[in-house]
Chain A
Amino acid sequence: DTAVSQTPKYLVTQMGNDKSIKCEQNLGHDTMYWYKQDSKKFLKIMFSYNNKELIINETVPNRFSPKSPDKAHLNLHINSLELGDSAVYFCASRHTGGSGNTIYFGEGSWLTVV
């Protein structure tokens, strides 16, 4: 039973291309995130959505555009890919009610820009 699933797992693409990563969670959570993990394993939040509304938008180039069609999905579209975009992108979700602090992560999408 996959809780947070994201596709594709691996993506190799050329500079300048546009690509999307999809994410879905079946946990009934109301908040979803995109995190970026760099080559040094530092994990940094990019976006957060709550019930389809953008809540957190860290300093991320506007080439990155998240889209949440419903609270179970949060997709990430990247325009004009650059070499520096190569990283692992993690989708995650959380239930904001009560003391819910645990974040559930997807398996990651390895993006390589060549």
Chain B
Amino acid sequence: SQQGEEDPQALSIQEGENATMNCSYKTSINNLQWYRQNSGRGLVHLILIRSNEREKHSGRLRVTLDTSKKSSSLLITASRAADTASYFCATGPWGSGSARQLTFGSGTQLTVLP
């Protein structure tokens, strides 16, 4: 079953504005990751936050994690047209050892207008 669900499904903003996407999940996790998918391309890892962390930064990305609410947010500051993509949260890993896997949501489609 689907573990992570992103919200909103679609987001359209002007270049220079901040974009915030949210992810909710259902069961306890070890870590939560965000991936980006440009149109017609594969998913690319952006950032990982562990369950004992509350906030993490990477360049213009800021991720928060609230394990009590089972939710995470991804903030992209000073957005650019090149940030236009689908953004997925992935939770896990589920299973042990080599059977570990991540479970993905259906993504937020971000459009940054020039």
Enumerate chain A interface residues (CB-CB to B < 8 A).
4, 30-31, 33, 35, 40-45, 48, 50-51, 55-56, 90, 92, 94, 96, 101-108
- Total B residues in contact with A, Cβ cutoff 8 Å: 31
Whether A105 pairs with B43 at a CB distance below 8 angstroms is yes
Which residues of the other chain, B, contact A105 by a CB distance below 8 angstroms? 35, 42-44
Counting residue pairs across A and B whose Cβ atoms lie within 8 Å, the total is: 68
- In the complex the two chains form, what is the Cα distance from A107 to B92 in whole Å? 23
- In the complex the two chains form, what is the Cα distance from A96 to B97 in whole Å? 7
- In the complex the two chains form, what is the Cα distance from A4 to B44 in whole Å? 12
Enumerate chain B interface residues (CB-CB to A < 8 A).
2, 30-31, 33, 35, 37, 40-45, 48, 86, 88, 90, 92-93, 95, 97-107, 109
Which residues of the other chain, A, contact B95 by a CB distance below 8 angstroms? 56
